[in-house]
């Protein structure tokens, strides 16, 4: 007669790593997607700040306040377009109150972007930035 030994197999931890990985992967993908969305929104805000700085600098290089406003607006639009930010609503306001040698020029750029363009799920976000640029104290006036 043969004696059969009946062994109970203990189930232990076999396969638990694959189950844990299966549960963890979607969470990691969502976290990564949220990081990308946040990074794109911060990048857009920095680009709008650069556009405001470019506009203020372009305005401070002009000889009169009318051309300062025109050149600032064009410079801000060009900066945003070159960097790939599409504004559904764009304004560039230039304060030329201190537009004299030794004064300063202030530019405020506002850009409304679709959140979907920034990697989000919908809606719009308005980004606003302000920059100052000094007017050269040694330059002469327009002839």
pLDDT at 133: 96
Where are the strands (E) in 33-139, listed by range? 89-98, 104-114, 124-134
The edge-to-edge listing of strands for the beta sheet with 124-134 is: 89-98, 104-114, 124-134
pLDDT at 82: 96
109 φ, ψ (degrees, to nearest 5):
-115, 130
Contact 73, 94 (CB under 8 A): yes
pLDDT in tens, 3-48: 565 555 556 666 788 888 888 999 999 999 888 888 888 999 999 9
Average pLDDT, the chain: 86
pLDDT in tens, 59-116: 999 988 999 999 999 999 999 999 999 999 999 999 988 889 889 999 999 999 887 7
pLDDT at 33: 85
C-alpha separations of 85 from 13, 15, 117, 141 in Å: 51, 48, 9, 36
Tokens of 111: 């850009």
Nearest by Cα to 128 from 109, 105, 143: 109
């Amino acid at each position: 007669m043969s004696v059969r030994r009946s062994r109970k197999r203990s189930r232990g931890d076999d396969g638990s790593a694959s189950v844990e990985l299966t549960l963890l992967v979607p969470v990691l993908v969502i976290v990564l997607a949220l990081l990308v969305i946040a990074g794109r929104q911060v990048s857009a805000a920095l680009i709008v700040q650069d556009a405001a700085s470019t506009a203020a600098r372009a305005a401070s290089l002009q000889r009169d306040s009318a051309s300062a406003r025109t050149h600032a607006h064009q410079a801000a639009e060009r900066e945003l377009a070159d960097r790939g930010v599409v504004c559904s609503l764009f304004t560039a306001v230039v304060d030329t109150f201190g537009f004299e040698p030794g004064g300063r020029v202030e530019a405020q750029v506002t850009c409304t972007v679709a959140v979907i363009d920034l990697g989000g799920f919908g809606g719009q976000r308005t980004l606003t930035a302000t920059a100052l640029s000094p007017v050269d104290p040694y330059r002469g006036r327009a002839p």
